[in-house]
Structure 1
C-alpha cells in the first residue's frame, strides 16, 4: 500500500496539472453500493485540451454516509470540485435520472445533463412490457437459463453448433440493468435456432419451445432494437464527443420508429409506445445545451435534426454568447471607469462601431458557410485546423462538446470497483478503494 500511495500521489499531481490547464470541465457522477453495503460516489471529469484532444478520467470514488437527500448529494459534488480546484471551470454535471441526483444537480450552479442512455433504456423497457413481447421473452429467458445453468447442456449445444458448421458461442441472458442485453440475447438465439432445436429434441426437458410465429416475432424485435443498440453504443463512448450526437441520433430513431402499414399490430404498439416514452422523457433533458452542442459540431451544423422553426433561435443564442465575449461588451459591463450609459454615448460616434456590432453575426455567418464534414471525419480535428479562423466559436465548442451524453464513465468505474471490493476484500479501507479504482482508470491508457 505504501507503493500504491506514492504512485497515486504522483499520478494525482499530474491530473491536477492537466485540469489546471483546462478552461472548461464537465463532470459525471453516480452512486454505487459495495458488497459490504458501503455507499460510494464516483465522479469523472471530461474536458478538451488546447490541442483539441478529448480527455476523460476519474476524480474520485469517495465513501459517503448518506446519499438519499439532494442537499447532501450537492454538497458531495462541491467537495470534489473544491478538492480538485475546478469550482469555476465546471460547466455540466451528468447524472442518472434518480430523483435525488436530479434534485442535487438543480441545487448546484451548473447545468444538469441527464443520462440519455438511461432515458433510452427506460423507453425500451416500457415498450417491451406493454406491446406483447413479454411472453415470448419469458420463454427465451427460460431456454437460455436451461443451457447457462448446466455445463452438460452447454456441451451438447456446442456439439450441435459444430455439427452444423456454426461458431461455437454461448447463449446470452438479458438483464434489466445491462443495456442492449435483450437484443444480444435475441440475436444469439436467432443465429442458433437450428442447433437449439436439435439439442432439445435429444433431451428430456419441460421447456416450452418457441413456435414459428414467435420466432418471427423475435426476428422483428431484433430489427426494432438494432437501431437503439447502435445509438446507445455511440452515446456511451469516452474517446469521442457524444453530446452533440444526441439530437441527430434521436431524430434517426424517430424516423425508423414510424409506424407503417406493413407492421403487425404488436410492432405498431411497440413503435407507438416507444415514441411516446421517448418524447415524454426528452422533455426533461437539457435540450438547450444539446442544441448548441449540435450546432458546434461541424458534422451536424446544418441542424437538420431540429424543426426549421427552432434552427435560427440556436444561431441567435450563439451570436449572443459571442457578443458577451467581445471586448466592447466587457467594457460596458465593467465596474470600473465611466458609467455604462455615458460610455455607450461615446461609442455612438465611433467609426468602428458598425464593425464591432456585426462581428458576432459575421463570425456565425462564416462558420455556417463552411462545408459540413462527413461522418467519417473527426470534429476535433476540424476544430484544431479551423480554431484560428473561428477563435471565439472555438472557445464555445470546447465548452459544449466536452460534455458526455451519458453516465457510462461512472458505470465503468463501478465495474472496476466491483472487482476490487469482493467478498474476501469487503473490509478494504475506503481510501484504498478510491486509490485502486482511480489508478486503474488513470493507468489504463499507459
Structure 2
C-alpha cells in the first residue's frame, strides 16, 4: 500500500486511469509536497499534513460533495434519491377501495361536483400521496355514491325504528329558479342523543298546492317507514292546509324562527323605522359599490383606531341581517361620516342624498339594543341540535316582559315598534288563549326540569 502511495506521489497530476488499481481515489484531488510532507487540495487549496495515510484527505473531501458531483466523479457518500425514498409499494385492492370511499365522502360531505376529483390539480395532489391509484370514472363514483346512500338509508331507518320522530319541512327555490322540498327528521336515540337527519331534498316541479304538498310528504314518510309525532313548517296558508289534509301528522307547529321573523318585520315596516332603515341601506350600498369610498373608509378606521369591519348589507328574507347592517353602520358612524364629508372622496350632490339626520341616528341607536335579543332568539330557534319545544315559550315570554317593555326614555317610534312586535307575538303564539297550557310546547316545558314550574307564565 505504501509503495502504491509513493507511486501516486511521484505523479500527483496523473489521472486515475494511469494509477494502480489499489491507489486511493483521493489523489485525484490532492497534490503531494515531498519537501514538507504535506498535501494540497486542488479544489480549495487547503494544505493538510501527510502521514503516509489518506484518512485526513477523505475527511476533507466531505466538504466538497457538490463539486465532486458536478465533475461526474464517484461520490464518497451516496444518498438515496427522493423518488426512491418516496416510492410506495403497489396499491392493494383494499387500500384502493378505502381511497375511493374517501373520495365519495369528499364529494358528499363537502357538496362537491363529481368533476372536482378529475381536475388536474386534484390528480397531481393525489398522485403525490398515492402514485399507484387512478381516479375512478364518473360512473364508478356515481355508483359508489348510490351504494353509500343505500347503506346510510338502511342504517338510519334502523336507528329510527320504533322512535317518535318529528319533522321539519320547507319549500324553497334555488338560485336557478328550481323548486325544491326538504324534509328533516328529529328524534332521540336509545342513548339519549338528539339526532337530525335530512331525509329528502328533491325537486318539486308540480304546483305547490296543499294537496300536492300533503301527497309528497305522505310518500316520504311511507318510504322511510317512520311514525311522526309533530311536523314543524312555515306559516304559509298552503302548508297549514296540507297539515290538515295529511292523516299521518297528528300534530303540527309553525316554525318559531319564521314566526319571529313575521313579528319583527311588522315593526320594521312602520313609517319612521322604514325611513331610518332605508337611509342606512343607501349609505351601506354606497360604500359597497364605490371602491374609492371603501378604501377611504379603511384609512379613516386606521386613523381613528376603530375596528376595520366592513359594512354589511341586509337580505330581505332574513330580518336579523337588517339588525347586523344597523349595528355595523352605527359602530362605524364616525368613520363613515368623515368619509361622506370629504369632498375629495364624496361629491357634494352625493353627500346630500346620503346624509342621515340626527334623529335617524338616534332611532338606530335605540333600536339596536331592542333588535339584538330578538336576533339572538331567532338564531337560537333556527338551530337543530341544541333547541327543543320547551325553549319556545320561555324565550317568547322573556322577550315580552323584558326586551319589548316600553321605557320612558324611548322615542315615540321605538315605543310603537315595541308595542307592534309585542302584539304580533301575543297573537301569533296565542299567549292569551284559554287553552294555552294544553299546547304541545307548554307540555314540553312541564316535562323539562329547567322550566317545569312554568314560572315564566303569568299567574292569571
TM-score of Structure 1 vs Structure 2, range by shorter chain: 0.5 to 0.7
- Give the Cα separation in 2 of the matches to 1:168 and 1:101: 44
Q: Deviations over 1:211-269 (max 9, x none)?
A: 33221111101011112012112211112133111100111111121223332211111
* CA contact 1:131–1:267 (8 Å) conserved in 2: no
Q: Report the count of equivalent residues.
A: 306
Residue 304 (structure 1) aligned with residue 455 (structure 2): yes
Paired residue for 1:248? 394
Question: SS of the counterpart of 1:58?
Answer: strand
Query: Is 1:82 paired with 2:222?
Result: yes
> 1 or 2 for the larger relative contact order (CA 8 Å, sep ≥6)?
1
Q: How far, CA to CA, are the matches of 1:271 and 1:66 in structure 2?
A: 41
Mapped pair 1:275 → 2:422: yes
1:221 to 367, 370, 382: 367
Distance between the aligned counterparts of 1:93 and 1:40, measured in 2?
18
Rg (Cα) greater in structure: 2
State the alpha-carbon separation in 1 of the partners of residues 390 and 175 from structure 2. Answer: 37
Where does residue 324 of structure 1 map in the other structure?
none
Matched residue, 1:13 = 154
Computed over aligned residues only, the root mean square deviation of the Cα atoms, in angstroms, reads 1.9
Residue in 2 that maps onto 1:143: 283
Is the Cα–Cα contact under 8 Å of residues 194 and 385 in structure 2 kept in the other structure? Answer: yes
Q: Report if aligned partners of 2:168, 2:232 keep a CA contact under 8 Å in 1.
A: yes
Q: Deviations over 1:158-181 (max 9, x none)?
A: 221122222211111112212411
Say whether residues 1:259 and 2:400 are aligned partners.
no
Q: Cα offset for 1:36?
A: 4.2
Q: 1:245 to 1:131 in 2, by over 3 A?
A: farther
Q: Aligned with 2:354: secondary structure?
A: coil
Matches within 5 A, 1:150-229: 150-202=290-342, 203-205=345-347, 206=350, 207-229=353-375
* Structure 2 CA distance for aligned equivalents of residues 68 and 42 of structure 1: 13
Q: Distance in 1 between matches of 2:182 and 2:156?
A: 16
Mapping of residues 27-426 of structure 1, within 5 Å: 27-86=167-226, 89-109=227-247, 110=249, 111-130=251-270, 132-202=272-342, 203-205=345-347, 206=350, 207-256=353-402, 257-283=404-430, 288-309=439-460
1:260–1:15: structure 2 CA closer, same or farther, 3 Å change rule?
Answer: same
**CA distance in 2 between partners of 1:97 and 1:234 (Å):** 19
> In structure 1, how many angstroms separate the alpha carbons of the residues matched to 2:190 and 2:198?
20
Contact 1:161/1:195 (8 A) holds in 2: yes
Match of 2:85 in 1: none
Residue 347 of structure 1 corresponds to none
Query: CA deviation digits over 1:95-126, x for unaligned, max 9?
Result: 10111111101222321110111111111111
Whether the 8 Å contact between 1:54 and 1:241 is mirrored in structure 2 is no
Q: What is the rounded CA distance, in whole Å, between the counterparts of 1:9 and 1:158 in structure 2?
A: 52
More helix by share: 1
**Contact 2:264–2:319, Cα closer than 8 Å, also in 1:** no
Is the CA contact (8 Å cut-off) linking 2:312 and 2:325 kept in structure 1?
yes
| CA deviation after TM superposition for structure 1 residue 131, in Å | 5.5
Query: Match of 2:192, SS?
Result: coil
Cα contact 2:183–2:198 (8 A) shared by 1:
yes
Structure 1: how far apart are the matches of 2:292 and 2:150? 50
Unaligned runs of 5+ in 1: 310-446
